[in-house]
Amino acid sequence: METTLRGVGVSHGVAIGEVRHMGTAVLEPPAKQIPAEDAEREQGRARQAVEAVAADLIARGNLAGGEAQAVLEAQAMMAQDPELMADVDRRIAVGSTAERAVYDAFAAYRALLAGAGEYLAGRVADLDDVRNRIVARLLGVPMPGVPDSDEPYVLIARDLAPADTALLDPTLVLGFVTEEGGPTSHSAILARALGVPAVVALPGAGELAEGTVIAVDGSTGEIFVEPSAEKKSQLEAAAAARKAALSASTGPGATSDGHKVPLLANVGGPADVPAAVEAGAEGVGLFRTEFLFLDDSKTAPSEEKQVEAYRQVLEAFPEGRVVVRVLDAGADKPLDFLTPADEPNPALGVRGLRSLLDHPDVLRTQLTALAKASEGLPVYLEVMAPMVADRTDAKAFADACRAAGLQAKFGAMVEIPSAALRARSILQEVEFLSLGTNDLAQYTFAADRQVGAVSRLQDPWQPALLDLVALSAEAAKAEGKSCGVCGEAASDPLLACVLTGLGVTSLSMGAASIPYVRATLVKYTLAQCKRAAAAARAADTAEEARTAAQAVLSGE
């Protein structure tokens, strides 16, 4: 009998297939004592297993490239954390086996993260994955991960670690469903980059029996269990119509009456550029530069290394616009040379621009590298600071850009409610705004973007979030300046129309979403988008806002 479940759709498309479950986590190793003379051998085993897992994660990252590479390299750094390894050595010295020492050391660190505020608690799944891989290697059992199958399937998991998501084979994994996670979690972002339909935050997903046929709609978040032939036909017809619309829509982003809305790509490094070019991106709206700094958390990359990486991206978009975000470190992206080690709540501490202003040499080197990378290129370079709170922050960043001789527009990201509320003041110092809706939602609702239990508050359709977008866009218009969106909100085609109606001047998203947004935007006039935006803001909940906007655009 057909039943319908609803989670959070995070990656467009429809997948119909049999359920396969993610490999289970490694069992807890037995607690047994070893003779003192075996301690050195066990410590060697532990170090070899850690290094092997770190090397495997880095190799997976090199294969995946882009954003996935940065995430996996961060996981490798977790595995090699010197304090963790020192704890493992201590536990072995007093009689633990290598596998038990690793298990217990990671458990202690896990408890610290889980109790350090919701932002760091979101890294627990990544830490668990690293632990499981090390213990599995020590026990000589198969690694946890995606199931072996010769036939295509829909993958079900409690959550997907970045190491698994990054290398999913789209020819076998038709789509995936997780119990945890949210619309801006690592897994969701990587799923969009892969173009795999995905639904997250679905309670009870793990109870779906192996081999059950389900249909996954990654746009609506609906899961149809044992769908009827009629439902399958409906979903397949809708998917075919969507694909035809995508093929027919080309060129710059615009509404049906010719109002231009540049569609840009979010990229995590040079490896993401080919997909962005293929999707018809008109430039880059968010170039995340963290990938360079995650290679070695102890020292910043050299100016020469930065120049080379930046130039690869800038050269790919001649005459296009490339918006670079300077290093956004801290919170879930700590760097030894930059991030305080003892912050009680890193998400609300020294992160983003605050870290860079505390380390002006790091900021100066990055800005100088960007200036050199853009020399002689016809690209329109824009550089923005993350986590700007007020005009004082904006002025400090603009002054640093000028001091570095940067010939580019300087901008501020709006990720903190104060920046949206005082956007016009900030625009006295910078030339554009870029809304990071992922963090803006997190800070507006006090809801960690990695925690599935609060995913309702991470929904970018929340009317309060739309109000802050409107405030920012209105301030930019009053100042004659631009205001783009580079958060994942832009990847929702219907929401893209609403954002356009709110006055947003450009939309930046993962490359896989660009064709969907282009094909949807061109169906409606600017006036229709404005009416849909007004209807969404008049609602009280995210679901009501989405329904109201859909009703306006469908003419109901």
Kindly tell me the sign of the dihedral angle through the C-alpha atoms of 355, 359, 362, 365: positive
* CA proximity to 2, closest of 240, 177, 215: 215
β-strands 213-217, 14-21 pairing: antiparallel
Q: Residue 477, Cα to own-chain centre: how many angstroms? A: 29
Name the residue among 304, 370, 297 with its Cα closest to residue 338. 297
Binding site feature residues for Mg(2+): 415, 439
Q: Which residue has the tokens 């439902």?
A: 231
C-beta pairs of 276-279 under 8 Å, 24+ apart in sequence = 276/316, 276/511, 276/514, 277/316, 277/317, 278/511, 279/511, 279/512, 279/514, 279/515
Catalytic residue (one of 186, 359, 401, 483): 186
**Which residues are part of a known binding site?**
288, 325, 415, 438-439, 449
Give the integer Cα–Cα distance in Å for 524 and 533.
13
DSSP string, 400-449: HHHHTT--SEEEEEE-SHHHHHTHHHHTTT-SEEEE-HHHHHHHHHT--T
C-alpha to C-alpha distances, 65 to 167, 193, 291, 323, 367, nearest whole angstrom: 10, 11, 10, 20, 24
Decide: residue 252, CB within 10 A, 0-12 exposed, 13-18 middle, 19+ buried.
Answer: exposed
Give me the residues paired with residue 265 across strands.
284, 509
Contact call for residues 57 and 69 (beta carbons, < 8 A): no
DSSP conformation letters of 469-523? HHHHHHHHHHHT-EEEE-SGGGGSHHHHHHHHHHT--EEEE-GGGHHHHHHHHTT
21 annotated active-site: no
Q: Which residues are annotated as a binding site for phosphoenolpyruvate?
A: 288, 325, 438-439, 449
Q: How far apart are CA 121 and CA 158, in angstroms?
A: 16
186 classed as catalytic? yes
Distances (CA, A) of 35 to 49, 92, 98, 101, 404: 21, 10, 13, 14, 60
Task: Work out the end-to-end distance of the chain between its first and last CA atoms, rounded to an integer number of angstroms.
Answer: 32
Burial state string for 370-409 with b = 16 or more CB within 10 A and e = fewer than 16 = bbbbbeeeebbbbbbbbbbbbbebbebbbebbeebebebb
Instruction: Give the separation between CA 382 and CA 266, rounded to whole angstroms.
Output: 14
Write down the catalytic residue from 12, 359, 483, 486.
Answer: 486
- How far are the Cα atoms of 113, 168, 340 from residue 73, in angstroms, in the given order? 19, 17, 20
Question: What residue type is 93 in one-letter code?
Answer: A
Known catalytic residues are 186, 486
